[in-house]
Amino acid sequence: MSHSALDSGPAAAGSTPAVDPEPGQARAASTPPVRKRRRSFLPYGLILPAAILELLIHIGPMLLGIWIAFISLTQLNLTNWLNAPFVGLQNFINGLNPDSTIGQAFFSTVGRTLGYTILVVGFSWVLGMAGAVFLSSNFRGRALLRTFFLVPYALPAYVGTIAWAFMFNQRDGAVNQILVDTLHLFGDERPFWLLGENSFGAMVIVNVWQLWPFAFLMLMAALQNVPTDVYEAAAIDGATLWQQFRRITLPMVRPANGVLLMVMSLWTFNQFNVPFVLFGATSPKEATLISPLIYQNSFGSWNFGLGGAMSVLLLIALFIASAFYIRMVLPKGADND
Amino acid sequence: MKNPLKVLSAVAATAALALGLSACGGGGSPQASSDTITYWASDQGNSLDDTAAKLKPTLDRFTEKTGVKVQLEVISWTDLYNRILTAVTSGDGPDVLNIGNTWAVTLQETGAFEPVEGELLEAVGGKDRFLKTSWSTGGAEGKTPTSVPLYGLAYNMYYNTKLFKEAGIEKAPTTWDEFVADAKKLTKDTNGDGKPDQWGFTAAGASVSANSHQAFVRGLQNGGTLFDKDGKPTFDSDPQVEGVKQFVDLMATEKVMSPSDAELSQGSQKVDNLINGKAAMMFDQSPLKNFAARDFKDWGVAPIPMMTAGATGDRGTQSHVAGINLSVFKNSDNKANAIKLAAFLTSDEEQIALNKAYSSLPVVTAASSDAAFQTEEVKAKNDALANHSLPMPLIAKEGQMETLTGTAIKNLFAKAATGTVSEDDIRAALKDANNQMAAAQ
């Protein structure tokens, strides 16, 4: 955003409304004193509504969440939460004590959530990349396939997940119908997909199904910017397809990749909808992620302080990880953009 | 827009509009006027619409009698608790509302409901009109209750008479041993593929609240309690472990319950199993509306089996005092009319009409004698409610207790469905729940 665009706006609107002048022309046409007065007020006036809303719907609740982590908030003092007793770091100590049931659950959940994030983002990226490269060449039916790939992304998340929950149902679900009844895998036993150890894998599948079209969309957009003559030149020089992919495609989409991986990781690490719809209010032990754990602590046990403390820890961890990532990875990409 | 003042006013108007919109986001703010009150009803019918349709004649009579209009909202059970807590937190709720009676003490502690004393107590005709067990759920012992009973419910055993006949079982089991033995007889492979497809017993293994009710009842029958005299949780005491083991073993070791039941989270799914002949017995509070909707007639009803026949007192417990209570919101701008509605809904006539419609039990003794409640099913339920039920622990943290014990059992069923469950597993799961309960207190 440049200054000239901002100050030229009102002046241009006032003097020559019919034509959309170049910033430079507008500046020349208006008189300096008037412009100066407007400049001092208008930018602030324009961002005021956004600033107020940001404060109301983002920063306010965030500060409130941090405050809740330091008080003992239960349903007993919910109506009068401003007077809930201040307990300092007690909620954090409870949440982080590795000898306690709660602490153990917290640490194993963080580990599981990390593994989950790596799996989901990894698979989504590979699928998205493969789809994007595949569809970057011209062939009949490309548009149709493109639309088809985007269906999971266009579908409301809740609807897609609930359909998966039906399909994974042990007794009547489509997954067991196909695997057990049609293909005769797993012998006679119909495996459970939403209970026990399989639940983690089921959750990964559903999330990848939902997420990969986003990677596909972003990478396809990025690939549009890679000039075809680069590939042609490489092909003439005898580069294999794999070499072209490694030496041309990957470096060229690097800026998009940087943002894409970060956004997908943040979404997946915070994933709540998929487990909540698949498993209900409490996930199986083997598939409990950090956001559902916070939900269980806050709304299952009505221990809002503990839930708040875990949220703050999560916020700090994500903040550090994002800051590190942005410094290490994004600047080089951003300059190329 | 040359004038900065104009810009400023436009900006201010936008901000004000945005603020106004976001303030509306809380939702559910009732427009109170003197002749309209809002009422949140729990889902007692086959669906939200069905509940509303069955409630309408009563509310019409109320309007006719008092001139007060009622703005009704029926809320599903999955949403009700959170909706109530949102209302409590924001102070912006309906004038009158339904609560699950096991939440009464938890919600009493929030201080958001009108104590049942003075004008309100007088309006509902005093506590002696009500069934003693039901009245006891109104709030913590020794405190002024903040809710009055509205509908009564109790667990009974329902069974498929056709399957009983086929298995040569003439009368329903009364002790736990007989129950397990019968359940084994009723577990059959009917299509010859070497695996059972008809099961002796069915339950919603993933229903947290139903599981917690069983932890309560089975614990009591074995001489345990969920909390000791000092209010400390004792979920993992020997009798509690034994009680939970009996329930989980129906799937884990006795194999009279389908592993698929571990995925059922809705009570209606087990009712389906009974109707379809996939299972022969179940514990339920009020399946009659589902039976009627499916035109299912081959059902029988009996008391929940006990450890020893004819047990009384705590060990004779077959059910918690189930039911729905009614509260008046303290923040109501229209308290006089809210109290009028509470009195009307608990009047003898409306108790008969409503409980008949919802196949629940009247909570006022005068209404119980009505012809509508003299069927075998209602009598069995009434007997359980009046003589064989105890309220779930009347403590502020009842909600957490339900979540923790119910989830522990849900996970144990999941373990039974996908592998084996030992007594140690059960003890460990209940110990975990106990530790979390202790940490929350």
**Beta strands per DSSP E along A196-325:** none
Chain segment B17-52, per-residue pLDDT in tens: 443 333 333 334 444 457 899 999 999 887 899 999
- Residue A80: what pLDDT? 77
DSSP codes joined into one string, B391-417: -S--STTHHHHHHHHHHHHHHHHHHHH
Q: Looking at the predicted structure, is the pLDDT value of residue B125 above 50?
A: yes
Q: A31 — contact with chain B (CB < 8 Å)? A: no
Residues 6+ apart with CB under 8 A from B247: B203, B211, B214, B215, B218, B409
Which of chain B's residues have a Cβ under 8 Å away from the Cβ of A48? 11, 15
ipTM of the complex in this document: 0.78
Q: List B residues 266-325 in contact with A (Cβ-Cβ < 8 A).
A: none
- A225 confidence band (pLDDT: 50, 70, 90): confident
- Residue A325: what pLDDT? 87
Which residue of chain B comes nearest to A192, CA vs CA? Answer: B418
Q: A56 — contact with chain B (CB < 8 Å)? A: yes
Among B292, B364, B277, which residue's Cα sits nearest to residue B323?
B364
Chain segment B290-315, per-residue pLDDT in tens: 898 899 999 999 999 999 998 999 99
Q: Are B325 and B149 in contact (CB under 8 A)?
A: yes
Which of chain B's residues have a Cβ under 8 Å away from the Cβ of A197? 418
**Stretch A122-129: mean pLDDT, rounded?**
96
- Residue A334: what pLDDT? 46
Question: What is the pLDDT of chain A when averaged over all its residues?
Answer: 84
Q: Is A304 left (phi over 0), alpha (psi -120 to 50) or beta?
A: alpha
Q: Looking at the predicted structure, is the pLDDT value of residue A14 above 80?
A: no
Which of chain B's residues have a Cβ under 8 Å away from the Cβ of A302? 397, 399-400, 440
Q: Decide if A56 and B22 are in contact by the 8 Å CB cutoff.
A: yes
For chain B, what percent of residues have pLDDT higher than 90? 70
Chain segment A140-168, per-residue pLDDT in tens: 888 888 888 888 888 898 999 999 999 99
- Residue B186: what pLDDT? 97
Cα B346 to Cα A210, B292, B355, distances in angstroms:
50, 26, 11
CA A88 to chain B, closest CA, distance in angstroms equals: 16
- A16 confidence band (pLDDT: 50, 70, 90): very low
**Beta strands per DSSP E along B204-266:** none
Q: Decide if A79 and B265 are in contact by the 8 Å CB cutoff.
A: no
CA A155 to chain B, closest CA, distance in angstroms equals: 24
Q: Are B94 and B39 in contact (CB under 8 A)?
A: yes
- Residue A38: what pLDDT? 54
B/e letters for B235-259, b = 16+ CB within 10 Å, e = fewer, are bbbebbbbbbbbbbbbbbebbbbbb
Cα A93 to Cα A101, A106, A317, B26, B432, distances in angstroms:
12, 12, 17, 33, 18
**Stretch A12-26: mean pLDDT, rounded?**
42
H/E run at residue A146: helix A142-154
Q: B178 — contact with chain A (CB < 8 Å)? A: no
Which of chain A's residues have a Cβ under 8 Å away from the Cβ of B210? none
Q: Which residue shows structure tokens 């949220």?
A: A311
Q: Report the alpha-carbon distance of residue B237 to residue B249 in Å, rounded.
A: 18
Chain segment A293-311, per-residue pLDDT in tens: 999 888 877 788 899 999 9
Q: A101 — contact with chain B (CB < 8 Å)? A: yes
**Stretch A19-45: mean pLDDT, rounded?**
57
- Between B440 and A172, the higher pLDDT residue: A172
Q: Looking at the predicted structure, is the pLDDT value of residue B205 above 50?
A: yes
Q: Report the alpha-carbon distance of residue B380 to residue B374 in Å, rounded.
A: 10
Q: Decide if B110 and A78 are in contact by the 8 Å CB cutoff.
A: yes
- Residue A33: what pLDDT? 53
Which of chain B's residues have a Cβ under 8 Å away from the Cβ of A81? 89
- Between A228 and B120, the higher pLDDT residue: B120
Interface residue of B106, B263, B331 to substitute, partner A, most A CBs within 10 Å = B263
- The residue type found at B261 is D
- The residue type found at B244 is V
Stretch among A14-28, A174-188, A229-243, B227-241 having the lowest mean pLDDT: A14-28
Q: Decide if A303 and B439 are in contact by the 8 Å CB cutoff.
A: yes
Q: Decide if B263 and A49 are in contact by the 8 Å CB cutoff.
A: no
Q: Decide if B15 and A299 are in contact by the 8 Å CB cutoff.
A: no
**Stretch B325-347: mean pLDDT, rounded?**
95
What 3-state class would DSSP assign to B348?
A: helix
Q: Which 8-state DSSP code applies to residue B304?
A: P
- A207 confidence band (pLDDT: 50, 70, 90): very high
Q: Are A242 and A152 in contact (CB under 8 A)?
A: no
Which residue of chain B comes nearest to A81, CA vs CA? Answer: B89
Q: How far is CA B305 from the centre of its chain?
A: 20
Q: Compute the C-alpha angle B303/B132/B247, nearest 5°.
A: 35
Among B210, B198, B177, which residue's Cα sits nearest to residue B281?
B198
- A268 confidence band (pLDDT: 50, 70, 90): very high
Chain segment B395-430, per-residue pLDDT in tens: 888 888 998 999 999 999 999 999 999 999 999 999
Estimate the crossing angle of helix B238-252 against helix B398-418, to 10 degrees.
40
- Residue B23: what pLDDT? 37
Q: Are A265 and A121 in contact (CB under 8 A)?
A: yes
- Residue A143: what pLDDT? 86
Question: What is the pLDDT of chain B when averaged over all its residues?
Answer: 89
B/e letters for B410-441, b = 16+ CB within 10 Å, e = fewer, are bbbbbbbbbeebeeebbbebbebbbbbbebbe
Q: Which residue shows structure tokens 């000239």?
A: A4
Q: Looking at the predicted structure, is the pLDDT value of residue B441 above 80?
A: no
Residues B185, B191, B192, B195, Cα dihedral to 10° = -60
Chain segment B234-254, per-residue pLDDT in tens: 999 999 999 999 999 999 999
Q: Looking at the predicted structure, is the pLDDT value of residue B164 above 50?
A: yes
Stretch among A56-70, A263-277, A289-303, B19-33 having the lowest mean pLDDT: B19-33
Beta bridge partners of B73: B40
